[in-house]
């Protein structure tokens, strides 16, 4: 059932919908939990706060109590931005997700933050194997554990962009 068709379901169940989809994909793909898993709920706030304070233009667009879904993200102007992919250029969801995977730098582990607040951690290959299976995902962010770059994937804009700290813009290892 697509997320937008959930109008008659409680807000709590809507909030859990995407998490449940990801859990089903992890099980269906037999992904080792050591390679991709939900991040500790006690650590969610730290990861999301660090993401905001590292990349968002909080000086001109302060962060209140909004969730990522409610906060119209305004990134810092000094970030280097590189277009990665547009979903309209691919015949399948999996092709689009693979283009995003090819467009991000290699890291041993990455963070995945979903716009409705769930945070995951894992290896690139395992993370993207799961993302290929989750069609109703809206906006999400893939973040370097060093918080030196991130990729924003927007369902509304049907595109993915890589943002880096300007000091890291020459990094090319993917």
Range of the domain at 91: 3-167
- Asked, for residue 147, whether it belongs to a domain, the answer is yes
For the stretch 89-116, pLDDT in tens is 988 989 999 999 999 999 999 999 998 8
Is 172 part of a structural domain of the chain? no
Four-CA torsion 53, 151, 149, 64, nearest 10 degrees: 0
Mind listing the pLDDT tens digit for each residue in 15-48?
677 888 999 999 999 999 999 999 998 998 899 8
| Total domain count, the chain | 1
For residue 105, is it within any domain? Answer: yes
| Backbone phi, psi, residue 38, to 5° | -65, 135
Instruction: Kindly report the length of the chain.
Output: 174
For residue 173, tell me if it sits in a domain.
no
Please state whether the predicted TM-score (pTM) of the whole model is above 0.95: no
The mean per-residue pLDDT over the stretch 80-85 comes to: 93
**Of the candidates 160, 158, 159, 135, the residue with the CA atom closest to the CA atom of residue 150:** 160
Residue 106 lies in a domain: yes
Q: Is the pLDDT higher at 152 or at 5?
A: 152
């Amino acid at each position: 059932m697509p997320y937008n068709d959930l109008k008659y379901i409680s807000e709590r169940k809507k909030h859990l919908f995407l998490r449940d989809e990801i859990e089903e994909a992890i099980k269906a793909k037999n992904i080792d939990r050591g390679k991709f898993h939900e991040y500790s709920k006690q650590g969610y706030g730290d990861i999301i706060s660090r993401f905001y304070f590292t990349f968002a233009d909080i000086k001109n667009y302060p962060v209140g109590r909004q969730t990522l879904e409610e906060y119209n993200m305004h990134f810092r102007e000094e970030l280097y931005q590189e277009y990665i992919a547009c979903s309209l250029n691919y015949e399948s969801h999996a092709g689009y997700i693979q283009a995003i995977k090819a467009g991000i730098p290699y890291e041993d582990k990455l963070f995945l933050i979903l716009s409705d607040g769930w945070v995951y951690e894992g290896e690139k290959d395992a993370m993207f194997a799961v993302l290929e299976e989750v069609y109703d995902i809206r906006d999400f962010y893939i973040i370097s554990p060093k918080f030196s770059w991130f990729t924003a994937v927007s369902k509304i804009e049907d595109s993915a962009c890589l943002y880096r700290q300007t000091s890291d813009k020459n990094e090319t290892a993917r």
